[in-house]
Structure 1
Amino acid sequence: MGKKRLEDAIKQIEQPVKVVYRCFELDPHAKRDNDKSIYEALAAKYGMSLDQARANTQNMVQMAKAEGLDFQMDTLVLTNTFDAHRLTMYAKSKGKMYEMADRLLRAYYTESKHIGDHNTLLELAGEVGLDHNEVANMLTGNDMSEEVRSDEDMSRRYGISGVPFFLINQKYALTGAQGTDVFVSALQQVLEQDGPFKK
């Protein structure tokens, strides 16, 4: 949702902006195969009832709907996302970072796909034009692990503890589900202060 709002804001300011996705795991210790629902996980994490977790999540679903996004939280498959992050970094090395990130997010939030499963990741990688054998070899080994860990180390240095988090020109930060107008205002302010965005 934050990604969509940022993209809408960039269209409005009519200036070239380079967006780079970074790796951040909300739960690095999550199991690859998890039988908990998102509601059970949220209730356990935040000490709330299942009804409260459901209500909070439905608020997010409605906000996403207003942005043209279809979040299917009832059937969302919780998993460890480390390999999905590795795949995104691999896609970045092939010039396909944006396509891969978009495909993974849609698969997770809308299509209820298991994005911790290697067969699912191979399928999604193929859909954005990545080589099946190369991706299979990457997932089987440890390729791109250092790149993911490097991003995560950077987030710790910046004190980032949650997502969405947006860092503009490596010094201006926006956190949480900000509205498109907030992004437009922030981007315009940065342009006025710093000039054109760094490439």
Structure 2
Amino acid sequence: MKVEIWSDVMCPFCYIGKRKFEAALEQFPQKDKIQIEWKSFQLNPAMKTEPDKNINDYLAEIKGWSFEQAAEMNNHVAGIAAEVGLEYNLDKAVVANSFDAHRFVQFAKTKGKGDDAEEQLFKAYFTDGKNTADLETLIELGKQIGLDPTELKTVLETTKFSEEVRHDIYEAQQVGARGVPFFVLDRKYAVSGAQQPETFLGALEKSFGEWEKANPAPLVTFTEGATCTPDGECN
């Protein structure tokens, strides 16, 4: 059963939500039958990448807060992240447009590395203070999860996977996602926000129960007869 997760690398609750969903999935007996697909969403498509600007200054500008208010809010969010084992160093976060980071994820998805790519991006942005709009940074993150750096460089130097990003953003509107993280289970049930693991677990149980009824395992009836096996036995 497919679970689609809309997120943005600059969203602090998306990383927190990832951890809480993973905690729920770990408790789910049929977790091996769950397919996770990460989907692109941009909280601020018009954001300009400004590596030298402190995130607290940026938030103060766009929200009309003081620097102290922005720092206090970020400290509060860092405390929530710590509760699920994440280290947030938001004072080091780089103001960066996320479009190319989403293209990076879209490419990684074609190699079966979508979840790995999301994890690397979140850690790079929230913990390590890396510029996730920088081409060389993305190539290095790709190498860490086993992507071919030459192929990835070719992708990032062009506009490849741009349409996939835009399509995900369009789909978000169709499924009712007005913010992220946004989880859609089997295109029937939605969970908005970084909910507690028990909420995710309940949604998994309900949606999977219905999915399993609609997709029963095939029943195979055996009629015994003369056979040969790979080890050379024939009877």
Specify the alignment match of 1:163 in structure 2.
180
CA contact (8 A) 2:54 2:91 kept: yes
Deviates more, 1:184-193 or 1:52-61: 184-193
RMSD between superposed Cα atoms in Å: 1.8
d(CA) in 1 for partners of 2:153 and 2:209?
Answer: 46
Number of corresponding residues: 198
d(CA) in 1 for partners of 2:123 and 2:214?
Answer: 28
TM-score (normalizing by structure 1) = 0.92
**1:59 paired to 2:83:** no
The equivalent position to 2:106 in structure 1, one of 89, 92, 99, is 89
Structure 1: gaps of 5 or more residues: none
Specify the alignment match of 1:20 in structure 2.
37
Specify the alignment match of 1:110 in structure 2.
127
One-letter amino acid of the counterpart of residue 101, structure 1: E
Structure 2: gaps of 5 or more residues: 1-15, 216-235
Deviates more, 1:26-35 or 1:1-10: 26-35
Specify the alignment match of 1:149 in structure 2.
166
The equivalent position to 1:183 in structure 2, one of 176, 196, 200, is 200
**1:43 paired to 2:60:** yes
Q: CA 1:196–1:122 in structure 2 vs 1: closer, same or farther (change >3 Å)?
A: farther
Q: Identity over aligned residues, as a percent?
A: 36
CA contact (8 A) 1:25 1:82 kept: yes
TM-score (normalizing by structure 2) = 0.78
Deviates more, 1:171-180 or 1:144-153: 171-180
Using the TM superposition, give the Cα deviation of residue 181 of structure 1 relative to its aligned residue in structure 2, in angstroms: 1.7
- Could you give the per-residue CA deviations for residues 99-142 of structure 1, whole angstroms, max 9, x where no partner exists? 11111111111111111000111111111111111111111111
SS of the residue aligned with 1:22?
strand
The equivalent position to 1:98 in structure 2, one of 115, 135, 146, is 115
Larger-gyration structure (1/2) = 2
Higher relative helix content: 1
Specify the alignment match of 1:134 in structure 2.
151
d(CA) in 2 for partners of 1:130 and 1:6?
Answer: 25
